[in-house]
Structure formats: structure tokens, C-alpha cells
Structure 1
């Protein structure tokens, strides 16, 4: 069934029939109703979106860059929150979402059928994505990353970590260990913020932002003697995500340390962690879903209105839980 047959059945020209299927097109309500009624009788579902895409130069798809290990990405509450915000922003549009693994090569990025991209989280492949999409004039906006001047909705990670570090300093802590995220804009900024207050802090880099990685990093600190069950070691750990902090706490308590009496622990993100309800983390809460929503809205504004790429800083909150206390 084709639009030509619908036009004939409705007794209108092909161009008039085409207008009936477009939003905001100059066609009278009566004529539109007549065309749509004819289409219904004939079982015509509407113009092929592939043809519309060729005419408009738009695919109607927003790409979302995520971790190449999709199962791991969908276990990360930060990525899930960003995706929730993106889908909220697109709910009342006809725009679809295409996931782009962050290890997709240049050829794959060049061929990806997207009008714009939201980069979720802090991938080490972000700049390559920006470079390839820039050559295609495809806008890229980050969500949940460090604030920069290339199109972003994010937070000031260094300043936020300074808040955490000053909280610990105010409690009398001077010997600090940092369980850092893998190298990235976000991880580097959070390390810089912690070291602004504690320049002599010992740093161990986790392999990932997971509870297991936090556990492994803490075992490393225990083996180094940085943390000691009999006292004399660091009195606080700044973990660069809530998932890492949960792993730090579990490993420290398994080694005989009491949190927060023997060891204060801070996290970052302000997320809910399934199965971790023994403590309320002292952390920085960032508004993750809002970042995803505003990033998707910014991509649409760039595409539809020619708006410049944004530089939006979302505020954060210091949340005091029961995982920090006075240094002993």
C-alpha cells in the first residue's frame, strides 16, 4: 500500500495526502481527517521513515555513549540515572535512542545513524567521540562528566571533593588514603580536590567503579600497611564513588576495623546501593537524572534551534551519614 493509493481513495492530490501525515503542516482539519480515514480503510501506516530521513537529513536518533561492557554499564546506578533522564527528555518526542559502546572504532562512529550524542559517564574514549562527531557536525553533550567548554552538563568534581576532604579535616583526620577511579577527567579532578586538602594522601587506583574493585583496593592498602587493624595507619579513606566506598567498608570491617570508630569512609554520587544497608554513607549527592535530562534537551535544542553547545554546572550536596567520625 502506498501514499498514491491513499490519495486516490481520498480524492486529493499526492502532495495534499503527504501533508496529512506531517505535524503542523498547512492542511485543513477536514481534509486531514478524510486522508487519514482513507489510510485507515486501506491499512496504510504512514510514510516510510527512511524516506523522511533522506529528505530531512535527520535520522530521528540520539546516540548515547556507554561502557563497552553493556552488562556492567547497566549495573552502574550513575549510568542508569543518566539514561532515565535522557528517556524522560525524549518521552514526548519521536526521537529514538541508540547505544554506542565507547570502544566503537572511528569507522563505526562515522557510520552511526545519529543526529546527536549524549556521552554518559566518564569514558576515556570521550575525546575520540568528540573528534569523530565534530567532523560530521554531530553535536555531543556529556552528562555525568567533568564540566568543560566542549558541551557538557556536569559538576565541578574537584570542588565537590574539597567539601568531603574539609569535612574529614574538621573531624581531625590527617592521615588519609584515596581509593581513586580509573584515570579520567572525573577521577583526576576528584583526586586533585582531595589532594588540595590532604597533599600527602596515599592513592591507590581501583580497576573500576564497583564494590569488588573497592574491596580489592582496600586489601591492597591493608597489605601495604596504609590501613592497619591495630591502629597506626590512615584514619580515613576518600573513595571516589559510593560503590567503591561500599567495597572499602566491607573489606575494612572484614579485617577487623570498625567504621567509623577506627576508619572514616566517604563516597561520591549519592546513589542507592542494592544490598548495602548497614551504613548511611557520608557522600556527595549529585543530581544524576537531571544531568541526563538536561543533556538530551541541549542536544535537541542544538539540532532544532541551532543553540550553542551548553556548559551547565549542576549543584551538588554534601550528605553526612554514619560512616565518618572523629579521628582517633
Structure 2
């Protein structure tokens, strides 16, 4: 039979609460009594009170949850996610708090259960798609949260650390349009869940499943609409995931055609690097006849090495500030809504559009 707290109490001849204090409130006992209790517990094989139950009695767990996309590996392989989590970790360490990474299952009921069952004191909601369901579930638990989006489908976020996705994307698209590009493609990952890789029929940006993708596609669209390229004239490319391989696979059919775009604007650097991989693998003669400019978004470390024109956003600072707002919330609500600056970084991956 598994040893219990009561068994330890009986062995020492004290109450259950005295045994509990030996673990959670040692200052309430004499050193000699606490030593007797812990020695008896070791002899019986009692491991101590259940940490979750103990945290619930205290009213806090000592951990925050980071809610993000469905694959746990994304937190360790995506360069921007790694930077964001590094920032969250810095703040958590300063507050002596642990992190719980919570991937979001694709099944909505399972996703809601993941939020409802997580033993945390609050949530950082990062890259979780249309997150209104998550905010409702968190709100139902009465826990605080911070998001990386200015608003969700249910309205303005309570606290956030975000960028203006649409304006940032427009800055890079304006640069490309200003160089004369009119035959362009927009590339995003999982724009419509379940859609195949490659060209995607999209009536408008509102059909994109992720709010971040919608914001960036909107910025691209706005810039080209201003120079007379309306949405139906734009090619939309869907990548099966946010990886170099997925970016290369999505753009490859377009490059094989007789009239590829003169520019590809990607919603992330990782996808843009995949496009550069696909371009490098082309036949040299084709590459000379049809040069293609490429842009990304985020400015990860590999972007500079590849000469990628992109939008820089402060990933680590974003994570640090989000965790700080959660762990040490400001008294004024407005101070809990942070909009970070972005910067257009122009490198060699974009050139003047070739003459038709």
C-alpha cells in the first residue's frame, strides 16, 4: 500500500497538519521535531505531499503556461519561437517562476481541456491561432493572461505585447513595389488549415486562419493595391508548415512555370529562406532569365547570412515583456498594452524588377 501523510503522523504521534508543516511551513516546527518527521517519512517511503494539491492550498503554483501552436517541437526548432521563449525565461527566472509549455491540440475540445487542466498561475498566449476560445477558457478559470496580439475575435486583449503586423508587412511590401515589382506572390504557412502546399485560391485575407497571417497578408495587399495590383492579380502560396522545406515546396511549382513572379513576399524568414533554397536549386539559365526577389519577416540570425530583406521585430524583448506583464502587472491598464517597434531591414535579396 502506498504510504500516506496519515501513516507518517501515526508513526511519529503527531497530527496530519504537523506533518504537512514539516514540508510546507518548516518554521512552525522545532528542528528536532521536523527531523523526526522527515526520518519517519523516509523510512515509510512517503515522498511528501502532492505538489499540485499543495500549490492549490497556497493559492499559487509557481509556474506560468506558454500556450502556442500544436507541435511541441516548434518551441525548440523555430528560430523566432526560441528567441521569444528565451525572453520569457529571463523574466521567469527573475521572479523565481517555472514555465510550462502547452502545445494546442488541433481538436478544439482537447485544446480547451489542455488550458483548463494546466497547473499554472497564468498564461502567455503566443502563436495560438484564433485565440478567443483560449481566452474564454482562461477567463473561466479566473487566471490572468498576456497575448502577443492586439486583439482577438472576442475583442481587445486584456494585456498584450505585440507589433502592428499590418503596418510592418506594408513597410516591406512598399519597398518591393517601389522597385517596380507588380507580378508578385504572397507566401504564408497553413493559411487555410488542411489546404495543400502550393498556389491557393483565396477570395480575400479574411479567409486566412491565423490572425498574424491575416495581418501580414493585409499589409502586403495594401501596398500593392496602392500601385494598382488588386488582390485577384496576386498569387497566394500556402506552405504546409513554417519551415524551410515547406517554403521551398510551396514555391517550387510556381518557379517551374513559364512566367514566375518577380518577387515573393513571405510571412516569415524561415519560409523566405526556403524560397531562396528553391531558387538556388533552379537551372542556371532559368534563374538568369527569371530573377526573383524575396522578402521575409522577423529578422532571425540566418536572414543576415542569406542577405534577406526582412522586417525586424524584437523577439526576445517581446517574450520578456509579456512574462513581466504577467508576473508583475502594472497598476494602470494602459501600461499593460505594449506595441513594439519594427524596422525594415534592406539587404541584397530584393532587386529592381526586371523589364518585361
CA displacement 1:112-158 (0-9 Å, x = unmatched)? 2334111222x335222112112222223223xx4222132111111
Gapped regions of structure 1 (runs ≥ 5): 228-233
Q: 2:173–2:220: 8 Å Cα contact kept in structure 1?
A: yes
Q: Is 1:218 aligned to 2:251, yes or no?
A: yes
Partner residue in 1 for 2:276 = 249
How many Å apart are 1:89 and its aligned residue? 1.0
Which of 285, 289, 292 matches 1:263?
292
CA RMSD of aligned residues (A): 3.8
Partner residue in 2 for 1:113 = 118
Q: 2:86–2:319: 8 Å Cα contact kept in structure 1?
A: yes
Q: 1:82–1:120: 8 Å Cα contact kept in structure 2?
A: no
- In the alignment, the residues of structure 1 paired with residue 300 and residue 224 of structure 2 have an alpha-carbon distance, to the nearest angstrom, of 25
- In the alignment, the residues of structure 2 paired with residue 259 and residue 247 of structure 1 have an alpha-carbon distance, to the nearest angstrom, of 19
Change (3 A) 1:161 1:50: closer
Change (3 A) 1:94 1:326: closer
Q: Is 1:99 aligned to 2:102, yes or no?
A: yes
Partner residue in 1 for 2:204 = none
| Structural mapping, 1:170-181, within 5 Å | 170-181=178-189
How many Å apart are 1:237 and its aligned residue? 1.4
Q: Is 1:126 aligned to 2:159, yes or no?
A: no
Partner residue in 2 for 1:70 = 72
Partner residue in 1 for 2:200 = none
How many Å apart are 1:238 and its aligned residue? 0.9
| Structural mapping, 1:41-60, within 5 Å | 49-60=51-62
SS of the equivalent of 1:206 reads strand
Which of 311, 316, 331 matches 1:289?
316
Change (3 A) 1:98 1:198: closer
SS of the equivalent of 1:74 reads helix
| Structural mapping, 1:1-328, within 5 Å | 49-91=51-93, 92-103=95-106, 105-106=108-109, 109-110=112-113, 111-115=116-120, 116-121=122-127, 123-143=128-148, 146-148=149-151, 149-150=156-157, 151-181=159-189, 182=191, 183=208, 184-199=210-225, 200=229, 202-207=234-239, 208-223=241-256, 225-227=258-260, 234-255=261-282, 256=284, 258=287, 262-273=291-302, 279-302=306-329, 308=333, 310-328=336-354
Change (3 A) 1:174 1:20: same
Change (3 A) 1:51 1:179: closer
SS of the equivalent of 2:132 reads helix
- In the alignment, the residues of structure 2 paired with residue 187 and residue 259 of structure 1 have an alpha-carbon distance, to the nearest angstrom, of 31
CA displacement 1:42-75 (0-9 Å, x = unmatched)? 9899976445423233222211112222224432
Using the size of structure 1 for normalisation, the TM-score is 0.76
Q: 2:170–2:222: 8 Å Cα contact kept in structure 1?
A: yes
Q: How many residues of Structure 1 are paired with residues of Structure 2 in the alignment?
A: 307
- In the alignment, the residues of structure 2 paired with residue 307 and residue 63 of structure 1 have an alpha-carbon distance, to the nearest angstrom, of 24
Using the size of structure 2 for normalisation, the TM-score is 0.71
SS of the equivalent of 1:70 reads coil
How many Å apart are 1:323 and its aligned residue? 0.5
Change (3 A) 1:98 1:59: farther
Gapped regions of structure 2 (runs ≥ 5): 192-207
CA displacement 1:152-200 (0-9 Å, x = unmatched)? 2111111011110121223232332211332311111111111111122
Q: 2:185–2:264: 8 Å Cα contact kept in structure 1?
A: yes
Change (3 A) 1:34 1:168: farther
Structure ranking higher in helix proportion: 2
